[in-house]
Each structure stands twice: as C-alpha cells, then as structure tokens.
Amino acid sequence: MLDSDLLAAAAAATGFMPADEGLALAEAVLAAPAGPILEVGSYLGKSTLYLAAAARPRGATVVTVDHHRGSEEHQPGWDYHDPGLVDPRVGLIDTLPGFRGTIAAAGAEDVVVAVVARAEQFARLWATPLAFLFLDGSHTDESAQRDLASWAPHLAAGGVLAIHDVFPDPADGGQAPYRIYRKALDSGDYTELTGRGSLRLLRREPSPRQER
C-alpha cells in the first residue's frame, strides 16, 4: 500500500517525473527487499516524494543525495534553466531551499534524509548495502557513468536498480541514461524487471561467490 497523501503531493510537485513513471517507481520500491532506499539526484523533490510514498508504509527511509547546484541542463543558456533557482548571493543554482520546501509541505521530513554532496564523494562514505537505488542525476555521459560506478557496488543482491530518462531512440532524449542502463544490463549482473515509459528497473542477481 502506498501513502496516498504523499502520492498526491508528488504529483503536484515541480519536476520532471511523469505521474505514471512516478507511480511505477513507488510500486517498485514496495516490491523490493527490505533495506535502505537511495536516490541520486533530488532536484526539487518530486521523485523523492514518490519514493517516500512507498517508504513510509514500509517503515523505511529515503536517503537522497544532490549537490543542489543543478545539473548541466539547468545552467544558464540551457533548455531547463530556471532563473528563479539562482542564488543571487553567489550567482549559482541552488535547488536546496525549493527541495526542502517540497518535502516539508508534503509532511515527509520524517521519511526523507537529504544529503548535500556530490554523489561520488558520498558514495565513498556509504557502507550499508542498498535495497533500492534510483539514478536520476546529471545526464551527461561522464556524470551518469560516474554515478553508476560509484553506487552500483553498494546495491545488495536482490536489490533493485532504477534508472530514469532511458530513451533508446536519440530522437526522444539524451543517451547517457540509456548507456548506463545498457552497461548494467550487459554486465550480466542484472535481470530486467517491468518498467514504465523511460523508467527502467533491474534486479541485481547474486554473484557466483555469493551463491556458494
């Protein structure tokens, strides 16, 4: 069962997660093993609330990591730049106040732990096997590959890797998420689950060593 109030808040929040994909994301969390849920790429908290809608009924916590300076596509001159998100004191994007407002307004502060850091730096400090990993950070090749390399080793056997904005056809969107999806799937370490839209879901299989 998903938290209906948090689902409604997620649907109303600002962000780039379509409602059907957000619902599929939440349902995938419900079906995942028990354990920590971690999101790479918080932006203003829309997808975080979909994760929280599944975490709350499970008594789980969503950890979400973002430097909150915006991805490349959020910078001045890019298609998704929002001047209202620029902190005039430093002249840089700052999505943290908006994120905190989204989470507080939804009443989800008891479910969500926000970490302000670069994902690869925080990954070096993380030691607990993850039950669910959602990659939705910067969509450049360098960043996407770095996120996969930093966080996939923390995913427990049986855990679920979710990747957003996967578009096999370049005409539909950028290819960096598609390339890390293919890299994960082609590694032989994952079995694909049923996703929705641009959301791909992969279950990590036990390694031969773990099976012995």
Is 61:111 a contact under the CB 8 Å cutoff?
A: yes
Using pLDDT thresholds of 50, 70 and 90, give the confidence band for residue 90: confident
Q: What is the pLDDT of residue 72?
A: 67
Catalytic residue among 67, 68, 139, 164: 139
Q: What is the mean predicted confidence (pLDDT) over 166-190? A: 95
Q: Has 139 been annotated as catalytic?
A: yes
**pLDDT average, residue stretch 70-85:** 70
CATH number of the domain that residue 145 is part of: 3.40.50.150
For the question of whether the overall pTM of this predicted structure is more than 0.85, the answer is yes
Residue 163: which domain range? Answer: 4-211
Q: pLDDT tens digits, residue range 120-160?
A: 999 999 999 999 999 998 888 999 999 999 999 999 999 99
Residue 174 has pLDDT above 70, yes or no: yes
Confidence tier at 211 by pLDDT (50, 70, 90): very low
End-to-end CA distance of the chain: 35
Residue 8 has pLDDT above 90, yes or no: yes
Q: What is the pLDDT of residue 75?
A: 61
The number of angstroms, rounded, from the C-alpha of 185 to the middle of its chain's C-alpha atoms is 18
212 pLDDT more than 60: no
Say how far apart CA 44 and CA 104 lie, in whole Å. 12
Token look-up 């790479």 returns 40
Query: What whole-number distance in Å separates Cα of residue 62 and Cα of residue 211?
Result: 29
pLDDT at 204: 98
Gyration radius (Cα) of the chain, Å: 16
Task: Please tell me the distance from the alpha carbon of residue 20 to that of residue 69, in angstroms, as a whole number.
Answer: 27
Q: What is the pLDDT of residues 11-34, one digit of tens each?
A: 999 998 999 999 999 999 999 999
pLDDT tens digits, one per residue of 30-67: 999 999 999 999 999 999 999 999 999 999 999 999 99
**Amino acid type, 46:** K
Q: Let me know: does 138 contact 71? Beta carbons within 8 Å.
A: yes
The domain tally of the chain equals: 1
